[in-house]
């Protein structure tokens, strides 16, 4: 099989949450443990850092990987979902797993593990662990797929756990209150393993404290450490952070959420140093300034064109959209044009209430079966006071926005990771 045929085979044989949602979700670790036994526990052959949270875990994972990489570590990075290429999920020192390795793994192991009935995510995770072991990585940064306690990745025993924040997302699986969601995320906290919490207050904070106490895990709250004294967003969207240890720290990732992410990462770096990791000051500066180059991160307040500016962001729940809405208020433009679509299992009404009513909207849908039809989405949007036209796909919506824009306008594309994925695929095809 070719690489493309291999991917289609994987998608066809295994339930994939990215496409079908709840039908692909398999709570519990039985499948992961069975796969782990079959592969000989590859994750025990390297050190790991486990990253969970509702928002910011992708940025945090990539920043930590970049910093460690700059210190000379051979770093594995496992994230999800992918935006353009499946291989984005599995990287070593920023380089995607070779197509040949994906093909070889599938040919060798898919039939042999079929009796386990793994999901797409479970088998992909084992592909990552197996590849990292083969590559003899020193450490791997492992991003949780969904939740924490019952997530497939929770078979690892990491050196450090990081939980970025708690917001409403995947409530059908994780619970419909913030403390309930926090309990699921807190499930990654292991006996004696230090944990860094990015944002937490009230009952959510109590959940984390209780779980850490039960398993005797040292817990550190980034908000209490105050690693960043002040933060200023520059005209180019980059950040300048002032820190006692890292003065004039420049971060290339845009969006208001990055101030919180930066505090979480710096707190995590402090804990890793205490665990014996070699992390020098230079690598922190380099990691923050060059994270996209070092790790391939995309879709975080990413500008794809100018005149008019076109910016995309993968924020897709109320917590993520809140940051985006605040950022849009700070931007300068003549007319704001928003290309947006969502999947059908999100808090759509909650997101729509946060969006600016003065913008011109281009309602569309992503190329996944979970996507809410654009006409249905537009009806909900109009009830929230938003107006615009419908387009059957992201390409047509973006092209319409570009055609109607003046150079001083701003086009924002988002609402779903999959909307951004379609956008990036469109831009890639034009290059």
Using CA atoms, how far residue 174 sits from 19, 129, 180, 182, in Å, is 19, 25, 7, 9
Domain match, 173 and 269 both: yes
| Predicted TM-score of the model (pTM) | 0.92
Contact criterion met (CB below 8 Å) for 258 and 251: yes
| Final residue belonging to a domain, choices 251, 278, 295 | 295
Q: Tokens 């076109």 correspond to what residue?
A: 310
160 lies in the same domain as 217: yes
What's the token pair of residue 94?
């920023």
Residue partners of 231: CB distance under 8 A and separation at least 6: 239, 240, 241, 242, 259, 262
One domain, residues 221 and 334: no
Do both 69 and 171 map to the same domain?
Answer: yes
CATH of the domain at 415: 3.90.190.20
Long-range contacts of 300-306 (CB under 8 A, 24+ apart): 300/58, 300/59, 300/253, 300/254, 300/255, 300/258, 301/237, 301/253, 301/254, 301/255, 301/258, 301/327, 302/254, 303/237, 303/254, 304/423, 304/424, 304/427
Asked if 291 and 404 sit in the same domain, the reply is no
Instruction: Among 274, 295, 316, identify where a domain stops.
Output: 295
Output DSSP code: residue 387.
Answer: -
Residue 269 sits in the same domain as residue 366: no
Residue for token digits 């045929």? Answer: 5
Q: Which two tokens stand for residue 411?
A: 């086009």
- Digits of tens for pLDDT over the chain (431 positions)? 899 999 988 888 776 544 444 444 456 799 999 999 999 999 999 999 999 998 899 999 999 999 999 999 999 999 999 999 999 999 999 999 999 999 999 999 999 998 998 888 999 999 999 999 999 999 999 999 977 888 999 999 999 999 999 876 544 445 468 888 999 999 999 999 999 999 998 999 999 999 999 999 999 999 999 999 999 998 888 999 999 999 999 999 988 889 999 999 999 999 999 999 999 999 999 999 999 999 999 999 999 999 999 999 999 888 889 999 999 999 999 999 999 999 987 789 999 999 999 999 999 999 998 899 999 999 999 999 999 999 999 999 999 999 999 999 999 999 999 999 999 999 988 86
160 sits in which H/E element: strand 160-163
The structural domain count of the chain equals 2
Domain boundary among 295, 322, 351: 295
Identify the domain containing residue 404 by its residue range: 302-430
| Statement to judge: residues 11 and 56 lie in one domain | yes
Same domain assignment for residues 272 and 389: no
Strand-strand pairing, 195-197 and 160-163: parallel
Co-location of 285 and 321 in the same domain: no
**How would DSSP label each residue in 41-67?**
-GGGGSEEEEEE-SSSHHHHHHHHHHH
| ω into 81 cis (within 30 of 0) | yes
Residue 191 shares a structural domain with residue 162:
yes
**Residue 92 belongs to domain with CATH number:** 3.40.1190.10
CA–CA distance, 315 with 111 (Å, rounded to integer):
36
Nearest to 420 by CA among 339, 329, 334: 339
Percent helix / strand / coil, the chain, rounded to 5: 45, 15, 40
Within this chain, do residues 227 and 340 fall inside the same structural domain, yes or no? no
């Amino acid at each position: 099989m070719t690489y493309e045929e291999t991917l289609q085979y994987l998608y066809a044989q295994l339930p994939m949450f990215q496409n079908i949602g709840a039908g692909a979700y398999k709570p519990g670790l039985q499948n992961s443990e069975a796969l782990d036994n079959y592969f000989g526990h590859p994750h025990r052959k390297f050190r790991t850092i486990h990253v969970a949270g509702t928002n910011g875990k992708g940025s945090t994972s990539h920043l930590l990987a970049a910093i460690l990489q700059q210190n000379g570590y051979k770093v594995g990075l496992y994230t999800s979902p992918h935006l353009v290429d499946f291989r984005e999920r599995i990287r070593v020192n920023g380089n995607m797993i070779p197509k040949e390795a994906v093909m070889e793994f599938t040919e060798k192991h898919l039939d042999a593990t079929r009796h386990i009935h793994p999901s797409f995510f479970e088998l992909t995770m084992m592909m990552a662990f197996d590849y990292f072991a083969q590559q003899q990585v020193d450490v791997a940064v492992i991003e949780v797929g969904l939740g924490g306690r019952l997530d497939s990745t929770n078979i690892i025993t990491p050196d450090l756990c990081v939980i970025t924040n708690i917001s409403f997302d995947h409530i059908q699986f994780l619970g419909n209150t913030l403390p309930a969601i926090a309990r699921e995320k807190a499930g990654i906290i292991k006996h004696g393993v230090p944990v860094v919490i990015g944002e937490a207050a009230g009952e959510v904070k109590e959940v984390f404290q209780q779980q850490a106490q039960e398993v005797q895990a040292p817990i550190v709250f980034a908000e209490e450490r105050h690693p960043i004294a002040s933060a200023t967003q520059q005209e180019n969207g980059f950040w300048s952070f002032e820190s006692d240890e890292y003065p004039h720290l420049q971060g290339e990732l845009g969006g208001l959420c990055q101030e919180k992410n930066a505090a979480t990462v710096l707190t995590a770096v402090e804990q890793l140093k205490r665990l014996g990791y070699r992390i020098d000051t230079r690598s922190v500066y380099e990691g923050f300034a060059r994270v996209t180059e070092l790790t391939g991160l995309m879709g975080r307040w990413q500008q794809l064109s100018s005149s008019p500016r076109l910016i995309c962001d993968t924020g897709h729940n109320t917590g993520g959209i809140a940051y985006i809405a605040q950022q849009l208020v700070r931007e300068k433009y003549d007319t704001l044009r928003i290309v947006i679509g969502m999947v059908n299992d999100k808090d759509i009404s909650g997101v729509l209430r946060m969006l600016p009513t003065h913008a011109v909207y281009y309602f569309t849908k992503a190329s996944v079966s979970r996507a809410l039809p654009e006409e249905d989405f537009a009806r909900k949007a109009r009830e929230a006071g938003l107006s615009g036209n419908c387009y059957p796909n992201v390409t047509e919506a973006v092209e319409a926005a570009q055609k109607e824009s003046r150079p001083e306008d701003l086009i924002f594309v988002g609402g779903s990771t999959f909307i951004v994925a379609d956008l990036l695929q469109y831009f890639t095809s034009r290059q």
